[in-house]
Amino acid sequence: MRNLLDLAPVEADRLLREFAVSHGEAAYRGSQVVPHLWQKPVASFAAMTDLPKAFRERLAEHFVLPRLTLETGQRSTDGTRKFLFRLADGQAIETVAIPDDDRMTFCISSQAGCPLQCAFCATGAMGFARNLAVHEIAGQVRELALLDPPVRATNIVFMGMGEPLMNWSAVDVVLSVLNDPKGFGIGARHITVSTVGILPGIEALGRRKEQFRLALSIHAPSDALRQTLMPVNTKYPLAAVIRAAAAFERRVTFEYVMLGGVNDHPEHADQLATLARECGAFVNLIPLHPGGAMGFTPTSPEMIARFARRIRGHGVEVAIRKSRGKDIAAACGQLRVERLRRRPPAGPDDDREVQVA
Ligand code: SF4
C-alpha cells in the first residue's frame, strides 16, 4: 500500500494519473484526487465524492492516507493554540498555531525530540527519538485543516520540535507540499526553515529555486559562549555558519533568545550586530518563555528594548518577538514535556483526549 501523503504533489499527480489509466479510468480522474490530499483535505478516499465510487474503492485498495491522532489541544487567552499529536509508533509531537491579524502561523515539528541539546530548550532535554516522515510533518498542517472548523496556515515556521536540516530528505519534500499550488499553496516567502546552522542543509536549502526563508538560531555572538549553550557549535562554529548565511542568496534572520545575565550584555549586542552586518541579517530578539528553560531567567523587557536599540545603532534591523501563548506553555517542547511527566508515551490507541473530526 503506497502512502500518498509521503509524496510531493507533482509525484502524487503522476502516480495517480498512471493508476487511473491502468484501472480503465481517464487520467484526469487521477489528478482529481490530488486536491483532496492537501488543498481541500478529506479523511478518507470514501469522502472524495467527486470521484466515481468504484474508483474510490480501487484507490483504497492500493493507497493509504495515514492520519495523526490529535491527543490534546490547548488554547491560550491570546488565541494561540497548541496541539499534541500521537504518531503511529507512539511518539508524540507538537504543533502551535499562532494567529496575528490576518495571518495564521503554524510552528511545526520536524523530528520527535531533538539530538542537539541546546541548554535552554525543553525539547533538547528530552533527547532524540527519530526523524519524522513527510506525512508526519506536512500532516500537522493537514490535520488542522481537517478540524471543524478548519485551522488553515498562511505562514509556516519550522521552529517546533527538532532540527529540520538534520532531516533534509523529508523536509525537502515537505517544502514542495507546502508551497506547490497543488499542495497547500503557501508562498515560499511565508515559509521559514529555522536551523542552528547545519551547513550541508543550508547549502541544500539555498539550491532550491523558491524563495524559502532561512532563520539561524544564533543565541550567542561568540564561539566561547555559544559552545556552552549549544553543543552543535563544536561541529559548526559560528564563523562557518555566518559564512554560509552570507552565501545564502536570500534574506536571513537571526533568532536570539534573551537569557538574563547570560547573553544580554551590551557587548553581546555589539558582537551580534557585527555578525548580522556580515551577512545582511535581520535580528529577531526572543523573550525567554517564563518557565521554559531550566536554570535560566528572562531578560527584563526594558533591557531587551535597550539591547535592541544598541543593535539598531549599528545600522542593523531588529525586532522584538511577541511572546505568545504564555499561559499554555507554547515554547518549544513544553507541552510534550508536561504530558510525558504525567504519563509515558503509549500506543497510538491509548487515552485520546481530543479526537480529530
Ligand atoms: S533549540 Fe532547537 S535545535 Fe536546540 S535542542 Fe531545542 S529543538 Fe533542538
Segment 184-195, tens digit of pLDDT: 999 999 999 999
Q: Is the pLDDT of residue 101 over 50?
A: yes
Q: Which of 140, 183, 145 is nearest to 8 (CA)?
A: 183
Question: How confident is the model over 333-348, as a mean pLDDT?
Answer: 43
Q: Which of 93, 114, 219 to mutate to test the pocket of ligand 1 (most atoms within 8 A of CB)?
A: 114
Strand boundaries in the chain, DSSP class E: 2-3, 63-64, 69-75, 81-86, 92-100, 103-107, 111-113, 128-131, 155-158, 191-195, 213-217, 252-258, 282-287, 318-320
- Angstrom distance (rounded) from CA 340 to CA 346: 10
Does 58 share its domain with 178?
no
Q: What's the CA gap between 133 and 116, in Å, rounded?
A: 19
Looking at the fold, whether 285 and 318 belong to one and the same domain comes out as: yes
Helices 168-179 and 199-207: crossing angle in degrees, nearest 10, is: 30
Residues 23 and 83 in one domain: no
- Tell me, yes or no, whether 237 and 308 share the same domain: yes
Residue 194 Cα: closest atom of ligand 1? 2
Cα–Cα nearest to 255, from 298, 299, 286, 289:
286
- pLDDT, mean of residues 239-252: 94
- Whether 351 is in a domain gets the answer no
**17 vs 329, more confident:** 17
Domain boundary, last residue among 44, 64, 84: 64
Confidence (pLDDT) at 355: 22
pLDDT of residue 327: 60
Coil, helix or strand at residue 223: helix
> What long-range pairs does 15-23 form, CB within 8 A, spacing at least 24?
19/58, 19/59, 19/62, 20/55, 23/55, 23/58
Residue 237's CATH number: 3.20.20.70
Residue 354 domain-assigned?
no
- Are residues 165 and 182 located together in one domain of the fold? yes
What digits encode the pLDDT tens for the residues 109-131?
Answer: 999 998 988 888 877 778 899 99
Q: Are residues 157 and 32 in the same domain?
A: no
pLDDT at 343: 39
349 falls within a domain: no
Is 332 in the active site?
A: yes
Exposure class string for 119-158: b at 16+ Cβ within 10 A, else e: bbbbbbbbebbebbbbbbbbbbbbbbebbeeebebebbbb
Which of these three, 10, 37, 64, is where a domain ends?
64
Nearest CA among 181, 178, 275, 239 for reference residue 193: 178
Q: Does the pTM exceed 0.85? A: yes
Residues with CB under 6 A from ligand 1: 114, 116-118, 121, 123-124, 161-163, 196, 332
- Any domain includes 347: no
Query: In this structure, what are the phi and psi dihedrals at residue 318, rounded to the nearest 5 degrees?
Result: -145, 145
- Please tell me which residue, 337 or 281, carries the higher pLDDT value: 281
Give the angle subtended at the CA of 11 by the CAs of 8 and 17, to the nearest 5°. Answer: 135
Q: Is the pLDDT reported for residue 301 higher than 80?
A: yes
- Protein residue whose Cα sits closest to atom 5 of ligand 1: 124
43 CB neighbour count, 10 Å cutoff:
14
Q: Calculate how far, in angstroms, residue 121's C-alpha sits from the geometric centre of ligand 1.
A: 6
- Residue 96: inside a domain: yes
Domain range for 54: 2-64
61-65, 82-86, 133-137, 319-323: lowest mean pLDDT where? 319-323
Instruction: Identify the CATH number of the domain in which residue 33 sits.
Output: 1.10.150.530
Looking from the CA of residue 120, the nearest atom of ligand 1 is 1
pLDDT at 5 over 90: yes
Q: What is the pLDDT of residue 329?
A: 52
Bigger pLDDT: 320 or 356? 320
Domain tally for the chain? 2
Whether residue 296 sits in one domain with residue 211: yes
**Residues 102 and 239 placed together within one structural domain of the fold:** yes
**Mean pLDDT confidence for 296-323:** 94
3-state secondary structure (DSSP) of residue 186: coil
Pocket test for ligand 1, best of 108, 110, 130, 163 (most atoms within 8 A of CB): 163
- pLDDT score for 351: 27
Cis peptide before 149 (omega within 30 of 0): yes
pLDDT at 293: 65
